[in-house]
């Protein structure tokens, strides 16, 4: 599928998602938050759920956490404009930014599955514990499993990484700190990404 075919298919799914009331979040959202970034990206980053800024704009990871995420990836020359397609496990904001329920995640899963099917990413980054649990089913703390490559039925290589909200609460850059580890993980992602770009 070329980029314009992908865009067309994604637009169809997005339009269904915008009218979706399959779970209760449909009645409290301002905007559904489908995705940002290039449909031709080799990297897909999956976060938890939209927050207030995202609910108001319809764009994922646009608040403080998203800005930090952009900054960290930019240090390795990776941007959402070119390299990373960004989305979340659920497309509507849970009230008061609570964690989405199992039912909400299950009802919304069809949109995420369609995004993976259309984009066919080579790398999937699970950003935080909710994405990790949702995609891999693992209840391991993210700190135990982050930075490891894991296989996935879609054939993409999957890596759990810290959520940027956690990094905002832990700003130290000292060796071994969460932010330092995140930078190491992004270097590892970049190394593998470069091998894909050579293909
Ligand atoms: N946190 C997330 O997990 N996703 C967003 O889009 C914004 C904040």
36: which strand partners?
86
Q: Which atom in ligand 1 lies closest to the alpha carbon of residue 131?
A: 3
Q: Which atom in ligand 1 lies closest to the alpha carbon of residue 54?
A: 6
Output the pTM of the full model: 0.97
What is the rounded CA–CA span in Å between residue 172 and residue 139?
A: 26
Give the residue-averaged pLDDT of 111-129: 97
Strand order in the sheet with 123-127: 36-37, 84-88, 43-47, 123-127, 157-161
Quote the ligand 1 centre to 77 CA distance (angstroms): 21
Q: How large is the angle between the packed helices 102-119 and 3-18, nearest 10 degrees?
A: 160
> Domains in the chain, ordered, with CATH?
3-198 (3.40.470.10)
Residue 31 CB: number of other CB atoms within 10 A?
A: 16
Q: Which atom in ligand 1 lies closest to the alpha carbon of residue 47?
A: 3
Quote the ligand 1 centre to 49 CA distance (angstroms): 5
What is the rounded CA–CA span in Å between residue 42 and residue 64?
A: 25
pLDDT at 199 over 80: no
Task: Please state, for a pLDDT cut of 70, what percent of the chain lies above it.
Answer: 99
Ligand 1 pocket check: which of 49, 89, 160 to mutate, most ligand atoms within 8 Å of Cβ? 49
pLDDT in tens, 17-61: 999 999 999 999 999 999 999 999 999 999 999 999 999 999 999
What is the rounded CA–CA span in Å between residue 131 and residue 119?
A: 18
Count how many Cα atoms sit within 13 Å of the Cα of residue 18 in the half-sphere of its side chain. 10
What is the rounded CA–CA span in Å between residue 31 and residue 196?
A: 35
Nearest to 160 by CA among 180, 176, 140, 187: 140
Ligand 1 pocket check: which of 46, 62, 64, 66 to mutate, most ligand atoms within 8 Å of Cβ? 66
At which residue do the structure tokens 């069809």 appear?
110
At which residue do the structure tokens 């209760």 appear?
24
Q: Which two tokens stand for residue 167?
A: 């990094």
Protein residues with CB under 6 Å of any ligand 1 atom = 47-51, 54, 60-61, 65-66, 88
41 in Cβ contact with 85 (< 8 Å): yes
pLDDT at 94 over 80: yes
């Amino acid at each position: 599928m070329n980029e314009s075919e992908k865009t067309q298919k994604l637009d169809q799914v997005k339009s269904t998602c915008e009218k979706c009331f399959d779970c209760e979040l449909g009645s409290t959202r301002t905007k559904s938050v489908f995705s940002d970034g290039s449909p031709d990206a080799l990297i897909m980053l999956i976060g938890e759920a939209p927050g207030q800024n995202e609910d108001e704009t319809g764009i994922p990871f646009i608040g403080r956490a998203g800005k930090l995420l952009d900054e960290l990836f930019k240090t390795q020359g990776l941007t959402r404009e070119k390299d990373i397609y960004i989305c979340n496990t659920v497309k509507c904001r849970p009230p008061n930014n609570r964690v989405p329920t199992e039912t909400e995640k299950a009802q919304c899963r069809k949109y995420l599955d369609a995004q993976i099917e259309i984009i066919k990413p080579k790398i999937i980054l699970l950003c935080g514990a909710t994405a990790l649990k949702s995609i891999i089913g693992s209840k391991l703390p993210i700190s135990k499993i982050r930075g490891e490559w894991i296989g996935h039925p879609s054939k993409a290589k999957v890596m759990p990484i810290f959520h940027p909200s956690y990094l905002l609460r832990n700003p130290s850059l000292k060796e071994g700190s969460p932010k330092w580890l995140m930078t190491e993980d992004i270097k590892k992602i970049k190394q593998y990404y470069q091998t894909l770009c050579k293909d």
